[in-house]
Structure 1
Amino acid sequence: MNEKDLLAIIDRAVDEFNGDLDELESAIGMLMLGRHYGWRVMLLIHSPNTIRKYLKILGLKSLRDVLPEVGVLAHRSNAWRLVDGTQNFWKVVRGQISGVRSARVNKKAP
């Protein structure tokens, strides 16, 4: 997805939004960070309910439609480093494995 398309999504969401601006700001922030980290990292950061809420605010059906699967900065995500290359990604997203979900990133991976 190019920048023009992303801005169109954001502009439409802003124009149509009713509610708490903190939620709109967070939804837009997820979309913008997701460009760099990818939708898989976004699913590791946010709960499924939060993702659904943000998708509704943005007027999207799925993050897969607008974000890369794994972004160029995904390696900075602590949670992504724990699940990358394993079979556990969806178990973590569904909450079947706890203690992995994290919004923490490090500029230099250990």
Structure 2
Amino acid sequence: MAGMNDQEILEVVDRAINDFTGNLNDLGSAIGMLMLGRRYGWRVVLLIHSPSTVRKYVKILGLRNLRDALPEVGELAHRSNAWKLIDGTANFWKVVRGQISGVRSAIVERSNNR
């Protein structure tokens, strides 16, 4: 599945805002994860955030999981330093589980074609 379309994403965000109780910083971070993920993909999201943080944000957003909501690899994934390190290797899940350290990174670089 390619993930949700923009209208479906907006509906998730609106529903989360309407239903949320708690610290608004958590809600804002969850929405930010979702919005970035729609362009970077769920694999990059899992390289940025810890599994427990992703679970927390997915719960806040009322989603079953990220795989249904986001593309696996978004059109901007190539800008992610962490994705560049593991793209094409079999190490993705080892990095996500913490079995390989030093790869997780939230750093992105400007695309050369812009």
TM-score normalised per structure 2: 0.93
Q: CA deviation at 1:61?
A: 1.2
**Match for 2:102: what amino acid?**
G
**Match for 1:90: what amino acid?**
W
Q: Give ranges in structure 2 of 5+ residues lacking alignment.
A: none
Q: CA deviation at 1:69?
A: 0.2
Map residues 65-76 of structure 1 onto 2, 5 A cutoff.
Answer: 65-76=68-79
- Residue matched to 2:32: 29
Deviations 1:48-86 (CA, angstroms, capped at 9, x unpaired)? 000000000000111000100000000000000000000
Aligned structure 1 segments of 4 or more residues deviating by more than 6 angstroms: none
**Structure 1 pair 57–106 and aligned structure 2 pair: CA distance change class (3 A):** same
Selected match of 2:100 from 90, 97, 100: 97
Map residues 70-85 of structure 1 onto 2, 5 A cutoff.
Answer: 70-85=73-88
**Match for 2:73: what amino acid?**
V
Aligned CA-pair RMSD: 0.9
**Match for 2:66: what amino acid?**
L
Q: Does 1:8 align with 2:11?
A: yes
Q: CA deviation at 1:108?
A: 3.4
Q: CA deviation at 1:2?
A: 1.5
- Cα distance between partner residues in 2 of 1:41 and 1:7: 21
Q: CA deviation at 1:3?
A: 1.5
Q: Secondary structure at the match of 2:107?
A: coil
TM-score normalised per structure 1: 0.96
- Residue matched to 1:52: 55
**Match for 1:104: what amino acid?**
I
- Cα distance between partner residues in 2 of 1:108 and 1:28: 24
